[in-house]
Amino acid sequence: MRRCDRCGREAIIYIRNKREALCESCLFLSIRRRAYSVLRRDLSDGDFAVVALSGGKDSSLSLILTKEFVEREGIDVRVAALTVDEGTSYRRASIEMAMKLTSQLGVEHRIVRMKEFHGFSIEEIREKKLPNERRTACTYCGVLRRQMINTIAREWGATKVVTGHNLDDLVQTFVMNLTRGDVSALSRFLSREPPSSSLVQRVRPLMYVYEKEVAAYCIAAGIPAHVGKCPLTQGMRIGIRRALDNMELRNPGFKLNLLKSAEKMISASRARLSEGIELRKCEICGEPTTERVCKACQLKAEIMKVIER
């Protein structure tokens, strides 16, 4: 048996960049310390924090830590959860997990169907064949889900949207934006101030926590979180993820260093990056966008053509 380098109990994970093995309790303390530093920075009295809860490991742990943080620190923050049901068969199990968790924690929980909000589900789009062959299901799902979360949270009165994004997710996104030369997205990357009052500020308690740490902790602690890969997952992110995983294997700490460099570089040059990028209201839905029509409305128009065919 491998013992924890901090307390001598049975270890469950080896943290390569720190060269130490940790048990379940010490791993949780380590994750909690990092998450609390973000929550302390981003939450304050009077906030209404809506946790975007998919029922997977990351958002489930985010909800647990946010609720715990608010109770421990005794701050006046209302915490609730919001789940988007994209309508894929795969989602049923994770929604059940999300319901189980919010009921265990006693957290107010809303589940909103994409079919009701946008008029179609992701499963329907897939069945009818994706309207644009160059786009993957993740593009439609990601953009439309993100818009739903922001709009519903805002209308609910939320001042913060708490997400389950971990260090791996953020580093992948940074590299994707760099690769695409998406200066507009880079200028907003990890920005704490939303560029428009219509966008609810995001809080990412797990931003300095490796995905592997989240997974090991959730499995060891038996957190009710869905474990499974979305059958529709595809696209550029998978390749970037593999490349980053290989870099991390060869150079432990690579992803964390990359994220910290990104933070430094972008915060120093945010003003330059956002020069000439103007946020305006989408001509169709009124949501903030850098284009005449927002991405969600562009994608919806593509989908409606296929559905009405």
Which residues define the annotated binding site for ATP?
Answer: 52-54, 58, 84, 164, 169
**Whole-number minimum distance, CB 12 to other proteins, in Å?**
4
- Provide the strand spans (E) within the chain: 11-15, 20-23, 48-52, 78-85, 108-113, 160-162, 201-203, 280-281, 288-289
Binding interface with other proteins (CB under 8 A): 1-2, 10-14, 16, 21-22, 54, 56-58, 86, 94, 138-139, 141-143, 145-146, 164-165, 169-170, 172-174, 176-177, 180, 182, 185, 188-190, 211-212, 215-216, 219-220, 226-230, 232-233, 235, 237, 241-242, 245-246, 248-249
Query: Residue 242 or 292: which CB sits closer to other proteins?
Result: 242
**Whole-number minimum distance, CB 105 to other proteins, in Å?**
20
Bridge partners (DSSP) listed for residue 288 = 281
**Whole-number minimum distance, CB 147 to other proteins, in Å?**
10
Q: Is 305 exposed, middle or buried (0-12, 13-18, 19+ CB in 10 A)?
A: exposed
**Whole-number minimum distance, CB 157 to other proteins, in Å?**
23
Query: Residue 69 or 210: which CB sits closer to other proteins?
Result: 210
Query: Residue 77 or 149: which CB sits closer to other proteins?
Result: 149
Compute the distance between CA of residue 300 and CA of residue 125 in angstroms, rounded to an integer: 10
**Whole-number minimum distance, CB 54 to other proteins, in Å?**
5
Query: Are 203 and 59 spatial neighbours (Cβ–Cβ below 8 Å)?
Result: no
Length of the chain: 309
**DSSP letters spanning 252-274:** TTHHHHHHHHHHHHHHHHHHHHT
Query: Residue 14 or 117: which CB sits closer to other proteins?
Result: 14
Calculate the CA dihedral of residues 302, 185, 235, 146 and round it to 10 degrees.
-60
User: Residues annotated as binding site?
Assistant: 4, 7, 23, 26, 52-54, 58, 84, 164, 169, 282, 285, 294, 297
